[in-house]
Chain A
Amino acid sequence: MTPEVNPHPGRQGCALGRPRPMFHRVLTAEPGHVRETLAAVRARFQAEVGTDAIGRLELVLAEVMNNVTEHGAGDRPRAAPVIHLCIVSHDCGLACALTDDGRRLPVDCLLPRGLPQLTGEDLPEGGFGWYLIQDLTQELCYYREDRRNFLAFRIPLMRDAG
């Protein structure tokens, strides 16, 4: 799906420039569907944004969609949520929006967080997902409307050193 160039941008608008890839998919929140979707995202954007940015995009999308898969159904295990994913490539990066009809996202997922404690021999085996999402995204925002979660963020094309 490649957007058409608008030859007559409005006075308020800006020229759209060359066509950029977009991606849209609706999927049920199941591991196999998440995998297929990630492969399709990679195929769509790899040539446009390069290896490093596509790696960060894939990791963040995997973490978000895995969370919906694992927790979204809540106590209705047969009712896998339906995820809508939309990605647009532009100069500042990859703008992503995901919605799902699963359970409400717990507030603390979005609070600034550090890594789980790495002290001692008893290493944590989880608790990294939202850290990675927060670390690799910009302008991360969330809201709940009716029965849907809305999550939006941007993956910058260049990663600051450090």
Chain B
Amino acid sequence: MHFDVEEGDQHLKIVVPERRIDAAIATQFKDKLRPLVMKSKKPVHLDMRLVDFMDSSGLGAMIAVRKSLPEGMPLVLLSVTPNVERVFRLTRMDSVFDLRCAPAAEGGAA
């Protein structure tokens, strides 16, 4: 698992390279991402467009990552897909994370 990190003027942009953030990789995900963000002096933008599944283990890893940012430093989740947004919403974690949802999926399947 390799995170692509792009240091912009305004923020640190990191692309999540996985399609699934699940129990199989939650620990690895957390352990690799935390060192990248814990000393960030800019808001962190996490690009979630590739992620189409997240379970509660994955949610726990996302929460751990958020908690590892310096106090007060924003974490923005970009292009969150509907299947992942559901988990944040059902657990009320959408009130804790700054979610920017992906545009409607291709074909707009109901």
B61 nearest CB neighbor, chain A only: A125
Query: Which one, A20-28, A47-55, A91-99, A102-110, is touching chain B?
Result: A47-55
A74 at the interface (CB under 8 A from B): no
A5 at the interface (CB under 8 A from B): no
Chain A residues in 8 Å Cβ range of B96: 118, 123
Question: Which of A63, A69, A125 has the most chain B CB atoms inside 10 A of its CB?
Answer: A125
Q: Is the CB of B90 within 8 A of A132?
A: yes
| Size band of the interface chain A makes with B | 20 to 34
Chain A residues in 8 Å Cβ range of B10: none
**Distance A152 CA – B91 CA, assembled complex (angstroms):** 23
| Bitwise interface map of B from 11 to 28 toward A, beta carbon under 8 Å scored 1, else 0 | 000000000101110000
| Bitwise interface map of A from 12 to 50 toward B, beta carbon under 8 Å scored 1, else 0 | 000000000000000000011011001000000000001
Chain B residues in 8 Å Cβ range of A66: 22-23, 55-57
Q: Is the CB of A69 within 8 A of B23?
A: yes
| Size band of the interface chain B makes with A | 20 to 34
Q: Is the CB of A62 within 8 A of B87?
A: no
B23 interface neighbour in A58, A70, A121, A136, Cβ under 8 Å: A70
**Distance A31 CA – B22 CA, assembled complex (angstroms):** 9
Q: Is the CB of A132 within 8 A of B109?
A: no
A residues neighboring B (CB under 8 Å):
31-32, 34-35, 38, 50-52, 55-56, 58-59, 62-63, 66, 69-70, 115, 118, 121, 123-126, 128-129, 131-132, 135-136
